[in-house]
Structure 1
Amino acid sequence: MQETTFELQERKTDKELYSYQQGALQNIFEKFDNEREDFHLLYQLPTGGGKTVIFSEIVRQYLKNHNKKVLVMTHRVELCNQTSAMLTSFGVVNKIVNSKANLDDQERYSCYVAMVETLNNRLNDDKLDISDVGLVIIDEAHYNSFTKLFKFFENAFILGVTATPLSSNKDLPMNGNYDELITGESIENLIENEFLARAETFQYDMGLTSLEVGSNGDYTVKSSADLYTSPSMLNKLLEAYLKHSKDKKTLIFNNGIETSIQVYYTFQNAGLPIMHLDNTATKKQRKQILKWFRETPNAILSSVSILTTGFDEPTIDTIILNRATKSLTLYYQMIGRGSRVLNNKSKFTVIDLGNNMYRFGPWGADLDWQAIFKSPNFYIDRIKDDEEIEGVFKHDLSDEIKAEFSKSDNTYFDIKSTYKDATFAGESSKVVLEKSIAHHAYICIENSEDVYDALALAKLLKEDIDNRIQVYAKCISKSTYNFLSWLKDDYQKKLNAYLRENFDTVFEDIHGHPPED
């Protein structure tokens, strides 16, 4: 490869490069100069750090110093158009190679921008001459769809860029396709230097063991819909929004269209300004919805993962993860949508309803990307599973429900500990539920004047009953859907019966006198 000395060239563009971006350019061009011409280099920089700015300047510098062409690959049409516009702003004349592009004039261009599938078709049909392409840049390089094209560029320098250098496919690690990783600024450094906003996070302890994992290694849409469209989960989402982000511009991520639509109706029925967007929307609909979202100060947008890349809306105040994911990349992409700084915005809110922070750690934690790149399976195999995460949860009443039990000092009941004690004493596991029912009855009576008050309070315990039954089912290793459903119904019936039969006795024990007639 032709050797070139790297310098920041003067150019007519409004894009100023920050010092850390200049440092990245220096490191990358050093590899151009010193490594073989077919070297595969991976560059990591957090979402919002300006990867497109960096590789646009790389293209400009490369074309100035090399008598070869450049190809930039993306995986989505929005990224394709954005990348082309950014290159143009850097003075790089480029051609978008899409399904409608006329390639008769391709010789006039030294830079192409293409989507991976379209490019694959054009190359297999021998419609695009790539014999003189010396540099290939791959945006969002963690997607494996790009690797099938590497065979066409055996003599080119390949530069992959990504915020998370961890392959989307465990069986195709990135170190199998890239020779070296260069890491950029950390999220914490970008926050400290006011390039990104700081996340203020709120985690909810969620029971997710009903979720199933699909062939792609992530939770299935169906099992997610079954859980997240339940009335209790929709209410939890609405309560979390009202508590932490009322009247703030909010982006909600869901796993599946059905869930997002149910979220839309839940918020709409509460009189809140919300719209729903998924990949079935037309270009016109999408444009209208995103315009409304941008221009409406307290707008809420419920979406289905399509806004994780190629979407930049700095006015977002809150990100709600109304889903669980096993993908570290998706986790960082979703939260990254709220991290853009704007005017006085120095922080944003993240509400996690999928145990994602327990699974991956806080957004912006000091991850060792070099270690993850070298030994991805070592990292993946140590991500906590749901049972391990939920094993340390202490499920108690929500703050809203607890307010109705203000006279009770202890609303928490430890199912797991009670089960261990019963087993040690040789008692039946049914004793655990009997003691739990007695405890629920006690706090209902403690906060009531008569049995009707107590029965009304018992209705408020549905979520707490569900949590206790889930823990109990794990203890006895029996958790089929029908069994759990029956157990929850049976528990509620027995609690109501207990209250009717024992109200007077328990009330007198608590207050030292029988209830007044």
Structure 2
Amino acid sequence: MQSREMKGMANLSHEVQEKKTDKELYSYQKGAIDQVFEKFDSAPDDYHLLYQLPTGGGKTVIFSELVRQYLKNHNKKVLVMTHRVELCNQTSKMLTSFGVVNKVVNSTANLEDQDEYVCFVAMVETLNNRLNDDMLDISDVGLVIIDEAHYNSFNKLFKFFNNSFILGVTATPLSSNKNLPMKDNYDELIAGESIGSLIENEFLAKAEVFQYDMGLTSLEVGSNGDYTVKSSEDLYSSPAMLEKLLDAYKKHSKGKKTLIFNNGINTSIHVYHTFDAAGIPVRHLDNTATKKQRKEILNWFKETPDAVLTSVSILTTGFDEPTIDTIILNRATKSLTLYYQMIGRGSRILNNKSTFKVIDLGNNYYRFGPWGADLDWQTIFNNPNFYMDRLQDDDDIEANFRHEMSEEVRAEFPKSKEVYFDIKATYISATSNGESSKVVLERSIAQHAYICIENSEDVYDALGLAKLLAEDINNRIQTYAKCISRSTFNFLHWLKDDYKKKLNAYLRANFDTVFEDIHGYPPED
């Protein structure tokens, strides 16, 4: 015989089943629900299932319909966990739109009426406090859904749900902490529709990526496995990097709605002042903003066609603005999850929007590959260390860079078909032939001298062009130093000065000879 509480739950469950949602589910979303229920029916009551679906694929829609159907057929309660207040409120509204009456368990919630609800939505920290204080009855919770399940903050709550079916949902089933792999907390992964398939079927927009070769060896990695805020701010707040960011924006996204991600509040504020000084409509947003300020800024961003919003990771989850045209990664990250979250903010389709731009100023494309690549999530889930250990480090990435002169400097060498000189290849060739490594710089100096003379009428012109090669010389010296494994500051400083002196000496001693070789006649006196 059912207790009064169980009868009440049955009545509430029946009320849910009579509700009709106005949300139209796509075929892949319906397929995902079928897969989860199939596992729910066949697996043990305490099974832990992880479901993966790309950002923009509609994870909240899927698990809201799943909750509706679950409550329709089971006299058990449902608990949905999120990691942020905004997601908590958004999830509650979505569940309500599916006809699921739910109660938000926040720090101010009165739980005296909890017996009247069969579905709860709670933020992880608040829930942890309420459960430890024994203020929330979870004895009849049959299904626990964890949104953004890759966050390790949820792990401490698993002990409370030893008899519940747990469904974690995430776009990237990879923990940021190598010591806390997701396979230790979940029995199985179901991989949903791929980004490529969602793009092909016009559910997501396609990313057009503009990548810049960035020198990131000054960045330091913190205890969490990602680049530290301090080292990132030291690099990205520099005048040179701010200028590069502004130039990249003007070249690829001027007048377009743009969202910029930074690693550090100070960097974002510097970005704000840089764009504001350039007369570009821009606002700054970080986690210190009040709820009112955040709402006002996001409304401005939504309603301003050419708005630029510079932010600090706060908008990586729970933020949907389909009118975004460009995402700028003004930071580097070692987190695959963060990489996908940031780019995913621009992937929402809208009207005729089928593409969006990504400007990468952190070598992230080189590190992780293209957003939307056909990643084997099952392998990553089962062997996360194998995947992470295969990622290239910054030295390896930068070793493959081909340094190009700036457009302004290159314009001063119009007669030269090629101005690039491959230091690394020259070093490998020289050493394999038994030659001294010194010949690498000698040949580099000769090539620099050649392009200076090729574009000059006299030695004074050539010496003037040589002064424009400082950045090119610095890059060659850096590459050479890596080849010979010597990179102390004093050594590099001496090597650059010595290179410039030898280049000038070479030009003075060989100008006439090289000029005649190039043109077939001697220069005029």
Normalised by the length of structure 1, the TM-score is 0.91
2:175 counterpart residue number: 167
> SS in structure 2 opposite 1:208?
coil
**CA distance in 1 between partners of 2:62 and 2:319 (Å):** 18
2:91 counterpart of 1:78: no
**For 2:196 and 2:323, how far apart are their aligned partners in 1?**
21
What is the alpha-carbon distance in structure 2 between the residues aligned to residue 481 and residue 286 of structure 1?
Answer: 45
Residues 225 and 256 in structure 1, CA contact (< 8 A), matched pair in contact too: yes
- CA apart distance, 1:500: 6.8
Partner of 1:155: helix, strand, or coil? coil
Indicate the residue corresponding to 2:239 in structure 1.
231
Specify every segment of 5 or more residues in structure 1 that has no aligned partner in the other structure, as ranges. Answer: 3-7
**2:209 pairs with 1:209:** no
Q: CA deviation at 1:396?
A: 2.4
Matched, 1:121 2:129: yes
Matched residue, 1:20: 28
Does the aligned pair in 2 maintain the 1:218–1:327 contact within 8 Å? Answer: yes
Does structure 1 residue 253 correspond to structure 2 residue 266? Answer: no
Deviation at 1:235, TM superposition (A): 2.8
Do the aligned residues in 1 keep the contact of 2:17 with 2:68 (CA within 8 Å)?
no
1:299 equivalent in alignment to 2:307: yes
Shift of 1:420: 3.3
Corresponding residue SS for 1:167: coil
Report if the CA contact (8 A) 1:68-1:110 is conserved.
Answer: yes
Post-superposition offset of 1:427: 5.7
1:476 equivalent in structure 2:
484
> Post-superposition shift, 1:172?
1.0
Cα distance in structure 2, aligned partners of 1:462 and 1:317 = 36
Match of 2:146 in 1: 138
SS in 1 for 2:412: helix
Change (3 A) 1:463 1:287: farther
| Whole-angstrom distance in 2 between the partners of 1:220 and 1:509 | 53
Does the C-alpha gap of structure 1 residues 193 and 499 become closer, same or farther in structure 2, counting only changes over 3 Å?
same
Mapped to 2, the partners of 1:92 and 1:154 lie a distance apart of 25
2:416 maps to: 408
C-alpha deviation, 1:188, in angstroms: 1.0
The aligned amino acid for 1:236 is K
Matched, 1:461 2:469: yes
Match of 2:43 among 23, 26, 35: 35
- Residue 368 of structure 1 corresponds to which residue in structure 2? 376
Say whether 1:154 aligns with 2:162.
yes
1:417 aligns with 2:415: no
Counterpart of 1:159, as a letter, is L
In structure 2, the partner of 1:333 is 341
Task: Name the structure 1 match of 2:114.
Answer: 106
1:380 Cα deviation (Å)? 1.5
Work out whether residues 83 and 113 of structure 1, in 8 Å CA contact, stay in contact via their aligned partners in 2. Answer: yes
Between the aligned partners of 1:456 and 1:10, the Cα distance in structure 2 is: 82
RMSD: 2.6
The alpha-carbon distance between structure 1 residues 160 and 485, as it changes in their structure 2 partners (threshold 3 A), is farther
C-alpha distance in 1 between matches for 2:181 and 2:371: 23
Check the 8 A contact 2:54/2:194 in 1, yes or no: yes
Deviation at 1:458, TM superposition (A): 4.2
Could you tell me how far 1:232 is from its partner in structure 2? 3.3
- Give 1:27's aligned amino acid: Q
Q: Which residue of 1 aligns with 2:207?
A: 199
Q: Residues of 1 paired with 2:370 and 2:288: CA distance?
A: 32
- From the superposition, tell whether residues 286 and 504 of structure 1 become closer, same or farther in structure 2 (CA, over 3 Å): farther
Cα-to-partner distance string for 1:93-148 (whole Å, 9 max, x where unaligned) = 21211222222222222211111111111111112221111111000001111011
Cα distance in 2 for partners of 1:19, 1:77 equals 30
Q: How far apart in 2 are the matches of 1:120 and 1:490?
A: 64
Give the TM-score taking structure 2 as reference length: 0.90
**Cα distance between partner residues in 1 of 2:119 and 2:285:** 33
Matched, 1:243 2:251: yes
Partner residue in 2 for 1:176: 184
Match of 1:5 in 2: none
SS of the residue 2:55 aligns to: coil
Q: Distance between the aligned counterparts of 2:322 and 2:27, measured in 1?
A: 22
CA separation in 2, counterparts of 1:178 and 1:128? 24
- Conserved? CA contact 1:232–1:463, under 8 Å: no
**1:221 — aligned with what?**
229
- Cα distance change of structure 1 residues 219 and 493 upon mapping to structure 2, 3 Å threshold: farther
Please state how far the C-alpha of 1:365 moved relative to its aligned partner: 0.9
Offset at residue 352 of structure 1 (A): 1.7
Kindly tell me: are residues 258 and 441 of structure 1, through their superposed partners in 2, closer, same or farther at Cα, counting changes over 3 Å? farther
Show the counterpart of 1:57.
Answer: 65
d(CA) in 1 for partners of 2:490 and 2:153?
A: 41
Aligned residue identity for 1:114: A
